Amino acid sequence: MQYGYGKLILFGEHFVVYGLPGIASSIGLYTRCQFHPNENGIKVRDRLTNKNITLGENKREILDQTMQIILRETGLNGKSFRLEVDGDIPVFGGLGSSAALIVSIIRELNGHYALKLSDEKINGIAFKAEHVFHGNPSGIDNTASTYRRLLWFEKNMSGGKNKIELLKLKKPLPVVIGNTKIIHDTSEAVAEVRQRKEKNPEKFDKIFAQAKELVFKARNALEKGNIPKTGELINENQKLLQEIGMGSPELDLLCKTSLENGALGAKLTGAGMGGCMFALCPDEKTQEKVAQAIRKKGFDSYITSVGV
Ligand code: PMV
């Protein structure tokens, strides 16, 4: 059984699609994949999305297309097996569930067939497969899921290697994830930002310049262990995401609730327009309080930490 982990984008979602830097971390929520022998062909059951496929039967099915890419890239075409996937990561919520799914499948096949794939290779295959889900992904999700660390990410806009730097923190950061339970389609959200950017280039150029500066400041604050400053920058990043139209009333409510209950910063994470947000907390007691306050409003919350 192999695992793929979800991720939080701490800073820079959407802007990373255009080559600006982003900071992301894997989290404890996961998908896991179990290999079983099978006589004839390939079957995959994904309990997270309730999808059950027999490879090749419905080529329009996303899971089928994902598997075709994985088989091509690993050279496993023609094999027969059955995969069972489950986990605890909410799907279509901004926590990188598709990347986690893909990474868990590649890792399980890698182990079973002794393919000896490096993390770099696994990440490369996962990036190709992510295109099926996200159209034009930056690669930040599969990178965080593969490396299972806090990292700095810059997409190479010429198609070469992306810049990935593992970041070290003095202490892990206590966070709470809030889930609006409104599912979103990442490729639609990314397309929406592109349209808005094309319609209003001057406004967006200004926002993008601010977003870039902010990520550098955030890295500095994180590496210095300046948690209050990190919280302030999280709030600023949230404002920029609202300005590009990725907020929602539910996300606003969860951010406000978190801040009112002692969080130092709160923002959406992932594509936005619903999905998940996270709140940076000063300590475990506040984490509990924020998580409960979110639940009291009728939403889901998860306690986790980043930068472990
Ligand atoms: O909502 P998610 O988990 O799919 O996150 C997507 C992050 C974006 O920056 C919006 C897109 C991308 O590919 O980086």
- State which residues form the domain around 36: 2-166
Same domain for 7 and 154? yes
Same domain for 162 and 99? yes
Tell me, what CATH number does 209's domain have? Answer: 3.30.70.890
Cβ contacts of 63-66, under 8 Å, gap ≥ 24: 65/132, 66/101, 66/102, 66/105, 66/129, 66/132, 66/133
Same domain for 16 and 107? yes
pTM of the entire predicted model = 0.93
User: Domain ends where: 166, 189, 223?
Assistant: 166
Domain count, the chain: 2
**Residue pLDDT tens, the chain, 308 long:** 999 999 999 999 999 999 999 999 999 999 999 999 999 999 999 999 999 999 999 999 999 999 999 999 999 999 999 999 999 999 888 899 999 999 999 999 999 999 999 999 999 999 999 998 877 889 999 999 999 999 999 999 998 899 999 999 989 999 999 999 998 888 899 999 999 999 999 999 999 999 999 999 999 999 999 999 999 999 999 999 999 999 999 999 999 999 999 999 999 999 999 999 999 999 999 999 999 999 999 999 999 999 87
Residue 240's closest CA among 268, 261, 275?
A: 268
Tell me, what CATH number does 94's domain have? Answer: 3.30.230.10
Same domain for 179 and 273? yes
SS3 category, 210: helix
Same domain for 106 and 191? no
- pLDDT computed for residue 236 by the predictor: 98
Task: Find the helix or strand (DSSP H, E) in which 165 lies.
Answer: strand 163-166
Which atom of ligand 1 is least distant from the CA of 136?
A: 13
Same domain for 8 and 144? yes
Same domain for 139 and 184? no
Ligand 1 shell residues, CB under 6 Å:
13-14, 16-17, 94-96, 134, 137-138, 140-141, 186, 190, 270-271, 275
In this structure, the residue with its CA closest to atom 14 of ligand 1 is 138
Which atom of ligand 1 is least distant from the CA of 275?
A: 1
Same domain for 144 and 178? no
